[in-house]
Amino acid sequence: MSEIAIQIQDLTKVYKTNRVKAVDSLDLEINKGEIFGLLGPNGAGKTTLIRVIVGLLKSSSGHILFDGEELNINSAKWKHHIGYVPQETAFWKNLTVYENLNLIGTTYNIPNKELKERINHLLEGLYLVDHKKKLASKLSGGMQRRLNLAMGMVHDPQILLLDEVFVGLDPQTRNYLYDYLRDFASKENKTIIITSHLMEIVDALSDRVGILDLGKMLAVDTPENLKNTHGKGDILELEINKEFNEDLVAKVQKSEKDLVVEKKDQIILVKTLNAISKIPEILNSIENEGFTVLDVKITKQSLETVFISLTGKELRGD
Ligand SMILES: Nc1ncnc2c1ncn2[C@@H]1O[C@H](COP(=O)(O)OP(=O)(O)OP(=O)(O)O)[C@@H](O)[C@H]1O
Ligand SMILES: [Mg+2]
């Protein structure tokens, strides 16, 4: 069996109503056991891409292969293998939390005992046990999102597609979900695709990240590689205890590889990749010259800076 879970080939989706090309000639391979983060600003095409993969939208052209086979959304295999949690919550309002999970579970023909166990496990994990008898319509927004998550995972799918599921969750649930997804992908060799415009989450959770803008994939790599290739580096600001001149700047420059060092009043500015690992040598070089560093400020590069360098615009904001 191939180690590639999903292969997307030259995929394009044009919405007929407004001629918007939401996905534009996209090629992408997603591996088994991988958490793949789709990062992009509002309107980038993330939801459209997910909905085409899931089969809820028809592509205009191109192919999607699942385990080497062409997509057939009517097949039982597809249905059982795919879990989808949409950006907009969707459930039966007049059923309780438990009834929603049970009903969706029965559509997958999961044996009763197993279904019960899975539901209880998800209710516990997503802190919904105390709310299981509540009508879905009476839940808070965050609880509704958690119910939606549980509904997408109840059949224990092989591939899980999560569209902006971290939005509106409290930190406790975010942390739980974070651990749950990591476990799910690594232990069981399952594949997760998450979309988000929250770069911190995508950065921390994803094995690889695809940066999407205007329907095009601008870069695909590990967060680390993206930052090293496209990022502009971390910035260190070192406040020095007394007047200094360019000699000190030159010493700092020599203390480690690949530093860009500047003097700015009482501060030495250092621009470099992976600055934290270089701090000890930099500090030594300053102290060896008889100076003291009063304060160190570090601005870490992020996927945001990668995005800006790729597109020339900011990730946040509509
Ligand atoms: N049903 C639709 N009909 C027509 N155009 C659409 C439709 N849905 C989305 N679009 C357009 O397609 C483009 C991509 O939208 P999409 O919802 O896929 O973006 P997104 O990356 O998920 O954004 P967000 O971060 O806001 O969720 C946008 O220009 C949007 O206006
Ligand atoms: Mg979206």
Point out the domain boundary residue: 197, 212, 228: 228
Spatial CA neighbour of 207 closest among 43, 23, 37: 37
Percent pLDDT > 70 in the chain is: 97
Q: Measured from the CA of 48, which atom of ligand 1 is nearest? A: 18
CATH of the domain at 265: 3.30.70.260
Same domain for 238 and 222? no
Query: What is the pTM assigned to this prediction?
Result: 0.83
d(CA 89, CA 105): 17
Please tell me the distance from the alpha carbon of residue 67 to that of residue 247, in angstroms, as a whole number. Answer: 61
Residue 312 in any domain: the answer is no
57, 41 in Cβ contact below 8 A?
no
Query: Is 309 contained in some domain?
Result: no
Helix spans in 132-267 (H): 141-153, 171-188, 199-205, 223-230, 246-255
Do 22 and 109 belong to one domain? yes
Query: What is the identity of the amino acid at 136?
Result: A
pLDDT tens per residue, range 236-267: 999 999 999 999 999 999 999 889 899 999 99
Interval 115-169: pLDDT, tens = 999 999 999 988 899 999 999 999 998 899 999 999 999 999 999 999 998 888 8
48 lines ligand 1 (CB under 6 A): yes
The phi, psi pair for 91, rounded to 5°, reads: -160, 175
Do residues 198 and 257 share a domain? no
Name which residue leads in pLDDT, 98 or 89. Answer: 98
Residue 104 domain flag: yes
17 within ligand 1 shell (Cβ under 6 A): yes
Give a yes or no: residue 98 inside a domain. Answer: yes
In-domain check, residue 306: no
The two structure tokens encoding residue 75? 């097949």
The answer to the question of residue 305 being in a domain is no
191 lines ligand 1 (CB under 6 A): no
Q: Is residue 63 part of a domain?
A: yes
Q: Are residues 135 and 247 in the same domain?
A: no
Residues 171 and 267 grouped into a single domain: no
52-87 pLDDT per residue, tens: 998 889 999 999 998 888 867 777 777 888 999 998
Q: Is the CB of residue 15 below 6 angstroms from any atom belonging to ligand 1?
A: yes
- Name the residue at shortest CA distance from atom 5 of ligand 1: 15
Report the amino acid identity of residue 200. Answer: E
Q: Are residues 15 and 159 in the same domain?
A: yes
CA distance 162 to 196: 9
**Atom number in ligand 1 closest to CA 50:** 18
Q: Give the H/E segment covering residue 76.
A: helix 76-81
pLDDT digits (tens, 9 = 90+) for 8-35: 999 999 999 999 999 999 999 999 999 9
Answer yes or no: is the C-beta of 162 below 6 A from any ligand 1 atom.
no
CB 98 within 8 A of CB 132: yes
Band (1; pLDDT cuts 50, 70, 90): very low
Instruction: Compute, in angstroms, the gap from residue 19 CA to the centroid of ligand 1.
Output: 12
Residue 36 banded pLDDT, cuts 50, 70, 90: very high
The two three-digit tokens of residue 9, written as one number: 């080939």
Distance 317 CA to ligand 1 centre (A): 15
Domain C-terminal end among 199, 228, 257: 228
Residue 86, CA atoms < 13 Å, CB-side half-sphere? 11
> Ligand 1 mean position to 15 CA, how many Å?
9
Question: H helices then E strands: how many in the chain?
Answer: 11, 14
Quote the pLDDT of residue 31: 94
Q: Is the CB of 13 under 6 A from ligand 1?
A: no
CB distance 208 to ligand 1 below 6 Å:
no
Q: Is 130 exposed, middle or buried, given 0-12, 13-18 or 19+ CB atoms closer than 10 A?
A: exposed
Is there a single domain that holds both residue 210 and residue 284?
no
| Count of CB atoms situated within 10 Å of the CB of 316 | 12
**Which tens digit of pLDDT belongs to each residue from 159-174?**
999 999 888 888 888 8
> Whose alpha carbon is nearest atom 29 of ligand 1?
43
Q: Print the domain residue range for 33.
A: 4-228
Look at ligand 1, atom 1, and give the residue with the nearest C-alpha. 15
CA quadruple 139, 46, 219, 307: dihedral positive or negative?
negative
Mean pLDDT, range 99-103, rounded to an integer: 96
Q: What is the CATH number of the domain that holds 216?
A: 3.40.50.300
95 HSE (CA, 13 A, CB side): 12
Question: Do residues 177 and 199 both lie within one domain?
Answer: yes
* Tens-digit pLDDT profile for residues 172-220: 888 888 888 888 888 888 999 999 877 888 899 999 999 999 999 999 9
Q: What is the pLDDT of residue 80?
A: 85
Contact 35, 205 (CB under 8 A): yes
| Atom 4 of ligand 1: nearest residue by CA position | 15
Which phi and psi angles does 246 have, rounded to 5°? Answer: -65, -20
pLDDT category at 318 given cuts 50, 70, 90 is very low
The domain total for the chain is 2
How many residues can be counted in the chain? 318
